[in-house]
Amino acid sequence: MYKIIGADGREYGPITADQVRVWIAEGRANAQTRALAEGTIQWKPLIEFLEFAPALASSGAGWRTPGPVTMPRTTRTNSLALTSMIMGIFSLTCGLCCCYGLPFNVLGLIFALVSLVQIRKDPLTQQGKGVAIAGLVLCLLSLALAAIFSGLGLALNMPDLMREIRKL
């Protein structure tokens, strides 16, 4: 048997546990409603009585079964993908001006490949696949241009090289 303090501040009861469940279903009592169980001296909210937990949960009377806690995942652009694109731009600009584009090519290729693997492993928090591919393409393009320019340079200077070799 229980005694209940109503929303109007008045004491009701003694009532049975079944009657308390009915009042919970009707919305006349909720999880914060103070109750005194027979044989006790302390008033407690209904949420502290385990026998009323199913009734409180099903009625939605101020008490819900806690669901799983989820933190929103934040996506960020992979820093190696961005670095690979920067290295690709440096390799193109420095590679066209002089032969110093080679370190940027190699580093850009490595950064692009590593970032693509990282993005594939964790696509929920890692983004930047397009940036990594752009860096990869720029680095490969600068390598191809360096090979073409080196080949053209050798081809154009071949007669001079042959003359120098004949003099020796």
Task: Return the CATH class of domain 2-59.
Answer: alpha beta
Question: pLDDT at position 128, please?
Answer: 93
Q: Determine the pLDDT at residue 8.
A: 80
Question: From the centroid of its chain, how far is CA 76?
Answer: 8
Series of mean pLDDT values for 10-residue runs along the chain (168 residues): 84 87 84 87 87 78 46 81 94 76 88 96 91 95 86 83 80
pTM exceeds 0.95 for this model: no
Tell me the domain boundaries of the chain: 2-59, 76-167
Contacts of 21-29 with CB under 8 Å at 24 or more apart are 21/52, 21/55, 24/52, 24/55, 24/56, 24/59, 24/61, 25/55, 25/59, 27/59, 27/61, 29/4, 29/61
